[in-house]
Chains A and B, each alone.
Chain A
Amino acid sequence: MTMLLKVDKAVKEFGALRVCNEISFEIQAGEALGILGPNGAGKTTLLNLIAGDLPLTSGRILFNDQDVSGQPANKRCTMGIGRTSQIPRPFTGMTVYENVLLAAQYGRRKSEADSYHVCRDVLALTGLLPLWNTVAGNLRLLDRKRLELARALATQPSLLLLDEIAGGLTDHEVHDLLAILRQIRAQGVTIIWIEHIVHALVSVVDRIIAIDFGTLLIEGTPDEVIHSETFRQVYFGIDTDLEPVT
């Protein structure tokens, strides 16, 4: 396997506040990595740094052995980094199809005619095909989340960043979403996924990193991380002396 992304001592400061403190990790092509951590741990910031929505204070981000630290978000998208946002950002005045078409046309520099099949395929995969001509502003939350995913997929990313894509969904909806994510993985797309719904996350990812206060706490297989004392202390706020280890 080849290394797809390398985050090297990434630091992000907002004034005196250090929200990302020398985080380093790597991800191989085809791998799926989960990111866990309490609210405010700096997970979304980390994703924003990788996607280029925020500039690094110091450190480097290598994608396909290329330093992309100085590249803007749109450039990183065309290089192959696709992302979804925790709060969906649909283009409310455009139809579902136009949302996806835009992603295909800009993310992959394709003409409208060359984008038809990509659009159709991602709309079919995310179950949005029947809604293709609906104005995105009229979609309910689940469909907005699906659209967020469909748009990111239409840019045909080699690395897909997912920010709490299952948040706010019912169990049944999460189940449907997991099926979609497994299909995306099967197509060879590398995934970095932030999620609070642990059982959903562990059913998809190969490896997990846990962060708190902008610092990487632990890295390992889902089992190792979930059962580690460091993680349980921080994430569940459980005093491990009193908690019987299962």
Chain B
Amino acid sequence: MVARNKSTPIPIVNTMNREYRLIAFGVLAVVIIIALPQLGGTGLPRQLSDLFVFISIATMWNLLSGYAGMVSVGQQGWIGLGSYATIVIADDLGASLFVSVFLAGIFTALVSIPTSWVVFRLRAGYFAIGTWVVAEVFQLLVSSSTGWLGGGAGRSLASIRGFVRSTSPETFALTTYYVAAAIAVLSIIVVYSLMRSRVGLGLTAIRDSESGAASLGVNTTRLKLIAYVVAAGMTGIAGGIIAVMSINVRPDAAFSVQWTAFMIFITVIGGIGSIEGPIIGAVLFYFIRNQLSSYGEWSFIVLGVIAVVMMLVAPRGIWGLIQQRTHFEIFPIRRLMPRRLLMENTPSTGEAP
């Protein structure tokens, strides 16, 4: 995305260079992901797994809100359901631990389809509240299962013990780290592919004018459903890895609205409506949170102040500021007209426009 400042038109960049740059950044990212655990002790992979979770869930919130214009306050519903689904699939159904994490995403994606029938009847602010209500309903349903899911006291993911026993605590921490990193990378690849496809163009149009998009042939309901289901599925997978990283999964923590607050904070400070934004925002949030961890409740006030100041000073976030000055981008989403067409002066085809 390019900053919407008044400098028109946007400088034209070479299409080929754009793709090579993305590949270079991809390779660099993979190298960093592999190299990072070698740097620190056993605690570092565990801490960095948090960072990857933040990248995943914020990237998905950005797909919904930043690209498709559907502001959700209920994404914690998919985290909670994903966490519990992972427990059930791994412990009760006997699937392998890390496979369960991804199966949990399929489960949340399936659940999101009937959920959409309810929340899609609502618009804008009402949609936001509706998604929150749905997440609360999920929490109440899970809490009411005192026997099977442990009620309010929660339930632990017993398969972890089996995994640690058959390998080692270090292997477990490292595997968790790589799976969390893979989920983050997958989230980014999914959003990038969507945005490069016709679906992405349609979603951006819906965000800017839903009625306008419909009169140009866009099936708005179908596209919104795609974004909603993809976000629910990927957030469910993130919920699964969160369960793996937690000792005990409790409904009030797994379904906490704080998850969505984190997603919003990360996306807003990083830069809404860009793929780079949530990544930068997640890194920043990760460091700010670590710095503030000793201040307890005060840390939330500080985070809130930062978010409000950011919205006032730089509504497009840090990435927006960088873009405005440099027009630099890692993920080329803008469509460009092929140069050869701009060179031709006469109409190229005889067909009616």
Which residues of A are in contact with B by a Cβ distance under 8 Å? 51, 53, 72-74, 77-78, 82-83, 85, 89-95, 97-99, 101-103, 105-109, 112, 116-122, 124-125, 129, 131-135, 137-138, 151-156, 184, 187-189
Contact = CB atoms under 8 A, between A and B. Distances in A.
A93 B66 CA distance: 11
B201 interface: yes
Contacts of A89: 209, 211-212, 215
B156 to A, nearest CB: 45
State which size class the interface on B falls in. Answer: 35 or more
Interface string B2-22: 101010111010000000000
B338 A105 contact: no
Contacts, number: 150
B337 A94 contact: no
27 contacts: A72-B214, A72-B219, A74-B213, A74-B219, A77-B215, A78-B217, A85-B211, A85-B212, A89-B211, A90-B209, A91-B205, A93-B204, A98-B334, A99-B205, A103-B217, A105-B201, A107-B216, A109-B217, A112-B335, A116-B337, A116-B338, A120-B341, A121-B353, A133-B9, A133-B10, A134-B8, A152-B215
A102 B205 CA distance: 8
Contacts of B273: 93
Contacts of A78: 217
Could you tell me the dominant secondary structure of chain A's interface residues? helix
Nearest to A107: B217
Contact of B6 (A92, A133, A138): A138
Contacts of A99: 205
B216 A53 contact: no
Contact of A120 (B218, B220, B334, B348): B348
A74 B217 contact: yes
Contacts of A105: 198, 201
B317 to A, nearest CB: 14
Nearest to A120: B341
Contacts of A82: 215
A122 B353 contact: yes
Nearest to B341: A120
Given A120-B344, A132-B9, 15 more contacts: A53-B214, A53-B215, A74-B215, A77-B215, A78-B217, A83-B215, A91-B208, A91-B212, A94-B204, A94-B208, A120-B342, A132-B337, A135-B2, A138-B6, A152-B215
Nearest to A111: B198
Interface string B294-322: 00000000000000000000000000000
A121 B349 contact: yes
A131 B9 CA distance: 7
A109 B205 CA distance: 16
Contacts of A118: 349, 351, 353
Interface centre among B198, B216, B353 (most CB of A within 10 A): B353
Interface in B198-256: 198, 201-202, 204-205, 207-209, 211-220
Nearest to A98: B335
B347 interface: yes
B336 interface: yes
A95 B3 CA distance: 11
